[in-house]
Amino acid sequence: MPDRVIKPAEPWGKPDDGGEGGPRTPDVNRPNTDKLLERMRRVDPRAARRYRQRSGE
């Protein structure tokens, strides 16, 4: 998986008033590919076969 280069997004507008200062801009720019792959390997490969839905709007 190619490394991602995340360009800093320009903050727009005023800061949120939430006070926590959550992650508007990613502070990690290279995802841990091994961790992602590990999470993907845990997905049941037949999950979509079982997944049936009613037609919605």
Partner 1 sequence: MHRLLGLETEYGLYVEGVDVSDLADEARAVVQSFSGPCAKRWDYRDEDPLKDARGFRATQLTFNPEDIKYEKPTGKHLSAREDHVDHILTNGARLYHDHAHPEYSTPECRTLADLVAHDKAGERIVWACAQTRARQAHREISIYKNNTDFHGMSYGTHENYLVRRDLPFDWLITALLPFFVTRPLFAGAGKVGCEDSRVQGVPFQLSQRADFFTEICSVDTLHRRPLINARDEPHTDPRMYRRLHVIMGDANMSEYATALKVGTTSLVLSAFEQGFLPTIVLRDPVRAIKEVSRHLSGPWLVELDDGRTMGAIEIQRTYLKAAQERFVERDDETKWILKEWETVLNDLETDSSRLADRVDWAAKRQLLESFIESENLSWQDEALFSLDLEYHNIDPERGLYYALEQQGAMRRFVTDQKVRDATEHAPSDTRACLRGECVRKFGKFIEALNWGRIWLNHEDKIVEINLRNAFDGRVKDLYREINESSTLAELVRKIVQK
46: which residues sit within 8 A by CB, 6+ positions away? none
Rounded least distance, CB 12 to partner 1, Å: 4
Round to whole Å and give the CA distance between 20 and 14.
Answer: 14
Q: CA 48 to CA 45: how far, in whole Å?
A: 7
Shortest distance (Å) from residue 49 CB to partner 1? 7
Shortest Å distance, C-beta 34 to partner 1 = 9
By CB under 8 A, name the binding residues for partner 1: 1-2, 4, 6, 9-10, 12-14, 16, 18-29, 31-33, 35-37, 39-41, 43-57
